[in-house]
Structure 1
Amino acid sequence: MRRTLAAPVAASLAASLVLAGCSAIPGSVTSVDEAEFTNELAIPPLAPSRMVDGTRVFSLVAQEGTTEFRPGVETRTWGYDGSYLGPTLRAERGERVAVEVTNNLDQPTSVHWHGMHLPAAMDGGPHQEFGPGDTWRPTWEIDQPAATLWYHPHPHGTTEEHVYRGLAGMFLLDDDASRAATLPDTYGVDDIPVVVQDKVLDQNGQLDLTDDGGEPGILGNVVMTNGTVGAYQDVTTERVRLRLLNGSTARTYQLGFEDRQMDLVATDGGLLEAPLRLDDIRLAPGERADVVVTMEPGETTRLHSAEPDLGSVAAPFAMGANDAFDVLELRAADELAPSPEPAWEESQHDRADEVREADATETRRFELDENSINGKKMDMGRIDEVAEVGSTEVWEVRSTVQIPHTFHVHDVQFRVLSIDGEPPPPELAGPKDTVYLESGRDYRLLMRFEDYTDPDMPYMYHCHMLKHEDGGMMGQFVVAEPGQEAGAPGGYGPDGHQGDH
């Protein structure tokens, strides 16, 4: 059966054609300005912590400020413990952590620990919003492999604005395998956080959040790394580890180097079985990849975003598919300290962490259309799925429309079993919590629900194109004991209204 473009997609395409002019389809209407790489890369500091009764306690403050993206222009931004982005939190598997987050904004917010396995009440989704002047203190035990995770707001209906204004940061986890690995591991020296984002700045240099109806959301002409436009990083070792995070709200990147390959060592949820040599890797919003790059003394190279493969989309030129640009310059010193080849052994937890398809007892199907999942838009008072604690499931996910979508599941790391019945490409073989969905293709995801049960407090699954998330492309699931039914989440009744909020 021939599928026609749905109204929202058709409207977006029509708007893009008007912007471009009717005489011809352009190369791109979402292109990125060329930058001069003259600004030293800002490295988010490691967040201090204190030990209180065996718990590692971090403190964060969400606040307003100004940031100089362009010389001499103060842009109004938000950040944690500063004007833009936030410090990097770091903890070890087996540690109990707590994070005291104070909201100094003039509106409610939340903080979601993206990629973290933790109780639903600590997850920081839309049910854990807290108001101006309030402090939220989630606490949980770290029980998952070493990984590059991140944190960001997740308030109901306004996530895009909060992230776009600057609220985000990394959360690094360590374990026995990562501690013993021969990987660059000196934070800020040869182990570099790289948060890639794009913005639109208006004529006064302020963040422009105007929704022009385009898909999949705001695609900015200014690309920055860790909040630095035209960033360079001095390299003093033969190899450098880049912890890549797509922190954008809508743009997908195809990151690599035009003059060399790189070693992919980890995906969203942790280390691969072995390093994987790649030219580049596609990262949609929310996805992460740890790569190791080899440098020669005195040379310069640039992290580059090639034209991303968005699959079958309706208007590639209007969705970022034709955009290519440099992201970060690496400048090697004339003498470089030696670095070994990346390598690591199995963790003592690997066997217990392993998830097997043969153990799956439930298969669920999810279809993403223009603005809903399985024909339903987000309802805070509705539980869409109930998973049994300890169970292994296969989630079959498909995007039915020709616009970019992703799929993110809270609480778990999943494995991509297949795409259209075929094994996934090797860069998708590692643990994941977010995956880009090429239109019309079937993705089978394997996951296990462990440890935490709460029939009244849900986790989320949703598209991580944040305009789509805010517009209702999100569902809720709870993890329950066998035979236990879902309750009314967070005091919300069947009509989606909260009784005493």
Structure 2
Amino acid sequence: MKRRTLFALTGLAVLAGCGSPGAGSKGNTGLSFANRLTVPPLLAPTVTADGTKQFALTMRKGRTAILPGKPTATWGFNGAFLGPTVRAARGDRISMRVRNQLGEPSTVHWHGMRLPAAMDGGPHQVVAPGATWTPHWTIDQPAATSWYHPHLHGSTAMHVYRGLAGLFLIDDAETAALGLPSTYGVDDVPLILQDKVLDADGGLKEDPEPTWGLIGDQILVNGVHDPFFEVTTTSVRLRILNGSNARMYNVEFADRRRFAVIGTDAGLLAAPVSVDRVQLSPGERVEIVVEFAPREQVVLRSVGGDHGIDEGDHQLLKFIAAEQLRPGRPVPQRLATTPRVEAPADATQRRFRLSGSDEINGREMDMSRIDEVVPAGATEIWHVQNTVYAHNFHIHEVAFRILDIDGRQPPAYLQGPKDTVFVPEKSTVRLAVRFGHHTDPTTPYMYHCHILRHEDKGMMGQFVIVEPGTEASVPRTLSNHHQHG
């Protein structure tokens, strides 16, 4: 029996055991909320004479006591676990100094960033042990919550799981004028959700046996187990990232209070959407604003679903409001004015078939093969068909809009700008995809499942962006992999 066929059958067997919330799955609902939430520090840049903001990130090994008194081996940027928050504004010239002190190769991908392919940090921009990579670009996209993480082909899952991840926040003048909560760490709070498997000694276990890879029963928020957050304002903006390898979260408050979704992966919505639950597959982000009253306490949680990757009910974080809260402004009813992504009537249509855990359109990833050639500035319609169990789909460099999921409109809060989308089992998602203007016929961007074990196993393809009219002359085989260090 072929390996991928056996793997697909195993996946179906796993799916069969994952039903409604709590159906034979582990949860984590007995927390005491004993640990103060850590907010990742903002990384201060050095500003050069020409105004360029230089940020320094060092990948390194360390030890972290995820459980009190039980340190375990972890990886981090500029520290032992996770990384600082990089923050810059539209129009800023950026330079990064990424140093690798891991003792093995890695990369750093700027997930959600619109930038030249050679600066993207995908599997071709390898940073060798001891080397320093210095990508640079000008930020030219709307305000958004993006992030950074390794993208070394075959090792992405383990590098992220061990702790290499951080946020990259983009600001712009239009968003700043809206009066949204914006004091970082006070009323503008990042939440990086990750699940871990811990052994009896509190150590990280790395045993990706299930179809989707590691799905842990311990949830960390910003690297903190069993956390609480002290609320000091009536309105709090939460920037929530699903930084897990495979787990999907169905996020709600325990009292089912409603909150306003104001943004998704690639920027703000045109108007806020009131909901009581949001769904986040790996790599997706959402920005919400929630209201609190003095002295109240409420738990943020994830409830189990029937997709296999969202098994079990899990408490995430307890919010504890102070006796007196500083009042906030109401969320504006008009947010982003950026036109939504619209495909022309004659838009190019591309089709992608996800099968098993390691193929797109019947082929595994090949670092030397260009799968798609796209003219700069194009808006296309991509059909992403999932023939098996749960997958999702991330496209580098772009912003897209979900047109429909199996012919039905997505929920209103998912109709904003995105770069990652959940593709339910045996469904087809149509996307209107807007590409940028950075051209390079010899350096590819990636599209792939963001369930990281699937990505590592080969569920990934490559595309280049080229000058319009030159598509037919672009070689489909790469002669080198642009490795650094």
Task: Classify the TM-score, shorter chain.
Answer: over 0.9
- Residue number in structure 2 paired with 1:313: none
- Residue number in structure 2 paired with 1:68: 65
Q: Distance in 2 between matches of 1:190 and 1:140?
A: 30
Q: 1:369 to 1:450 in 2, by over 3 A?
A: same
- Residue number in structure 2 paired with 1:132: 129
- Residue number in structure 1 paired with 2:325: 336
Q: Distance in 2 between matches of 1:132 and 1:43?
A: 29
Q: 1:40 to 1:392 in 2, by over 3 A?
A: same
- Residue number in structure 2 paired with 1:480: 466
- Residue number in structure 2 paired with 1:222: 218
Per-residue deviation, 1:398: 1.1
Give SS of 1:271's match: strand
Give SS of 2:320's match: strand
- Residue number in structure 1 paired with 2:375: 388
Question: TM-score, normalised to structure 2's length?
Answer: 0.93
Per-residue deviation, 1:422: 2.5
Q: Distance in 1 between matches of 2:290 and 2:310?
A: 26
Q: Is 2:5 aligned against 1:9?
A: no
Q: Distance in 2 between matches of 1:292 and 1:309?
A: 27
Which moves more between the two structures, 445-454 or 331-340?
445-454
Percent identical among aligned pairs is 46
Q: Distance in 2 between matches of 1:388 and 1:433?
A: 19
> Does the CA contact (< 8 Å) of 1:148 and 1:288 recur in 2?
yes
Which of 252, 264, 267 is the equivalent residue of 2:264? 267
Question: TM-score, normalised to structure 1's length?
Answer: 0.91
Per-residue deviation, 1:206: 1.7
Q: Distance in 2 between matches of 1:230 and 1:31?
A: 13
Per-residue deviation, 1:450: 2.1
Indicate the RMSD between aligned Cα atoms, in angstroms. Answer: 2.3
> Does the CA contact (< 8 Å) of 1:178 and 1:344 recur in 2?
no
- Residue number in structure 2 paired with 1:22: none
- Residue number in structure 2 paired with 1:248: 244
Q: Distance in 1 between matches of 2:113 and 2:346?
A: 22
Q: 5+ unaligned residues in a row in structure 1: which ranges?
A: 20-24, 311-315
Q: Is 2:290 aligned against 1:304?
A: no
Which of 86, 90, 103 is the equivalent residue of 2:83? 86
- Residue number in structure 2 paired with 1:163: 160
Per-residue deviation, 1:343: 1.5
Give SS of 1:155's match: coil
Q: Is 2:283 aligned against 1:286?
A: yes
Q: Distance in 1 between matches of 2:106 and 2:410?
A: 36
Matches within 5 A, 1:80-479: 80-212=77-209, 214-259=210-255, 260-308=257-305, 310=307, 316=308, 319-321=309-311, 323-343=312-332, 345=334, 350-351=338-339, 354-358=340-344, 361-370=347-356, 371-401=358-388, 403-479=389-465
Q: 1:489 to 1:35 in 2, by over 3 A?
A: farther
Q: 1:360 to 1:135 in 2, by over 3 A?
A: farther
Per-residue deviation, 1:500: 11
Per-residue deviation, 1:499: 10
Which moves more between the two structures, 259-268 or 442-451?
442-451
Q: Is 2:39 aligned against 1:43?
A: yes
Per-residue deviation, 1:203: 2.7
Give SS of 1:427's match: helix
The one-letter amino acid paired with 2:135 is P
> Does the CA contact (< 8 Å) of 1:355 and 1:448 recur in 2?
yes
Per-residue deviation, 1:54: 2.0
Per-residue deviation, 1:139: 0.5
Give SS of 1:198's match: strand
The one-letter amino acid paired with 1:379 is D
Q: 5+ unaligned residues in a row in structure 2: which ranges?
A: none
Q: Distance in 2 between matches of 1:338 and 1:15?
A: 48
